[in-house]
């Protein structure tokens, strides 16, 4: 199977200094880093139909419909005070990226200005409940989750630090800084997350786990949450499971033709074992479910033992590992 490696937001340049293929991040959408977006105002991005993707030192990666437009490149260089690396992209990709990225980050900032943190003990469950139900917190967290869903992120990391509250997305197995929030709203966002996941918001000293379901652009997402305590307060990791990925066919996963043929033959063998390994977000679960979906579940009994059972498959018997109840991979 074709290997899945972390991708740079800016593809390699050819000898002329221009990328030779569009910089679509995932599923045809451009991925833009917040630090790059801050260098170019939205009105300028719309005027030249170009959007910044990433910034590295003195170089700004810029998605453009026409990479030979020197007027636009010079204007962007002047505004950003950076050297421009043009990246070819379609007009629709750029427009969609401008609509999504500038709106998401400005919307989060707008919501944050309306967040008011009441005084009270951090262990006061009633106070935490009030914080978690405030509309600005609800909208800010929704926007963060929606942004992750649009970017096809596998995880969201909500991380309090010494002087900032950092939000990061894991995309193609690489964590990307998305936005830094005021530290004083950390408790509100974490409490709202715990409310959604059915966790105890009054207990901030012990690790907890939970989950909830939401919808982004018509796609149902399962979100698994863990909240370990740190020296700066509770951090939260939200694992995003896109239910639509369970519907992929093997041919859609990026196999080379000869590898796909060999793999399909392996699936038809009535005995043996197939091992699939890789880092977070590399496609292990997607590949396994696509493999199971190719089997004839009407004429044979198919049983899975999973931890966790991330997706629900039709006509398949799925067993969730539960060591407390004596259900392990071995006993299964």
What pLDDT, on a 0 to 100 scale, did the predictor assign at position 188? 86
What pLDDT, on a 0 to 100 scale, did the predictor assign at position 332? 81
d(CA 223, CA 117): 26
Domains of the chain: 1-98 (3.30.300.160), 114-243 (3.30.450.90), 245-325 (no CATH)
State pLDDT tens for residues 71-116. Answer: 889 988 988 999 999 999 988 888 888 877 776 665 666 666 555 5
Q: pTM of the predicted model, to two decimals?
A: 0.59
What pLDDT, on a 0 to 100 scale, did the predictor assign at position 64? 92
What pLDDT, on a 0 to 100 scale, did the predictor assign at position 231? 94
Half-sphere exposure of 242 (CA within 13 A, CB side): 21
Low-confidence ranges of the chain (pLDDT < 50): 1-28, 119-124
What pLDDT, on a 0 to 100 scale, did the predictor assign at position 282? 76
What pLDDT, on a 0 to 100 scale, did the predictor assign at position 104? 62
CB 221 within 8 Å of CB 211: no
């Amino acid at each position: 199977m074709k290997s899945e490696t972390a991708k740079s937001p800016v593809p390699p340049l050819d000898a002329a200094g221009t990328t030779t293929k569009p910089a679509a991040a995932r599923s045809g959408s451009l991925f833009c880093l917040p630090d790059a977006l801050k260098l170019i105002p939205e009105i300028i991005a719309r005027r030249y139909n170009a959007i910044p993707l990433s910034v590295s030192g003195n170089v700004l990666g810029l998605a453009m419909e026409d990479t030979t437009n020197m007027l636009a490149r010079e204007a962007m260089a002047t505004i950003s005070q950076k050297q421009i690396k043009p990246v070819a992209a379609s007009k629709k990709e750029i427009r969609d990226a401008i609509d999504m990225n500038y709106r998401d980050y400005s919307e989060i900032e707008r919501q944050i200005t309306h967040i008011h943190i009441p005084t009270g003990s951090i262990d006061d469950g009633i106070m935490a409940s009030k914080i978690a139900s405030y509309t600005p917190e609800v909208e800010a967290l929704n926007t963060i989750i929606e942004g992750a869903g649009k970017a096809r992120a596998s995880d969201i990391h909500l991380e309090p630090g010494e002087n900032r509250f950092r939000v990061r997305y894991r995309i193609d197995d690489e964590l990307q800084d998305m936005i830094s929030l005021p530290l004083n709203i950390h408790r509100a966002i974490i409490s709202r997350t715990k409310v959604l996941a059915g966790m105890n918001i009054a207990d901030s000293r012990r690790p907890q786990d939970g989950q909830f379901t939401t919808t982004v652009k018509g796609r149902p997402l399962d979100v698994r949450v863990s909240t370990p305590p740190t020296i700066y307060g509770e951090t939260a990791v939200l694992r995003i499971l896109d239910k639509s990925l369970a519907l992929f066919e093997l041919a859609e996963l990026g196999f080379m033709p000869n590898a796909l043929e060999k793999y399909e033959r392996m699936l038809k063998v009535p005995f043996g074992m197939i091992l699939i390994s890789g880092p977070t977000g590399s496609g292990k679960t997607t590949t396994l479910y696509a493999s199971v979906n190719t089997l004839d579940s009407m004429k044979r009994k198919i049983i899975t033992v999973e931890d966790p059972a991330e997706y629900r498959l039709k006509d398949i018997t799925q067993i969730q590992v539960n060591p407390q109840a004596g259900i392990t991979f071995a006993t299964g």
